[in-house]
Amino acid sequence: MTMETRVVLGAVTDQPLDLAAHEAAVADRRAGAVVSFQGVVRDHDHGRTVTRLEYEGHPTAEAVLREVAADIAADPAVHAVAVSHRIGPLEIGDVALVAAVSTAHRAAAFAACARLVDEVKARLPIWKRQVFDDGTEEWVNCP
């Protein structure tokens, strides 16, 4: 049975992200490995205490996210790809990015998931405003 690689999820949303749903979305009978990643809002950046942050996305962000997912899905070793990025205000501990990839073998799954996350970080037109405990703020990844 031949199945094509699938991009099963590629969303930019202001709703909480569900890692288990992404992992389930990439389930495939051919897959011996599912590797997933969660990008979680941490309480520090470059030695400064972060109290909260906000992600703002360009109107094309979801289309770009789907393009990135399709690029990873083009790898013949990949069976399915799911990835979502959250926008809006987030608190410490909230999940900002979820990615999952399925392949036949673990090494390929780890490599594909790492490529997916790296490409999302490099290409996605989403910017982060960090608010620090001293009341200052900074924008990260802004053009």
pLDDT digit string (tens) for 16-74? 999 999 999 999 999 999 999 999 999 999 999 999 999 999 999 999 999 999 999 99
Global confidence as pTM: 0.92
* Amino acid found at 16: P
Q: If you compute the radius of gyration of the chain from its CA atoms, what whole number of angstroms results? A: 16
39-52 pLDDT, tens digit per residue, is 999 999 999 999 99
DSSP string, 10-68: EEEESSPP-HHHHHHHT--TT-SEEEEEEEE--SEETTEEEEEEEEEE-TTHHHHHHHH
* Position 141 confidence tier, pLDDT thresholds 50, 70, 90: confident
Map tokens 């990949």 to a residue.
78
d(CA 53, CA 71): 29
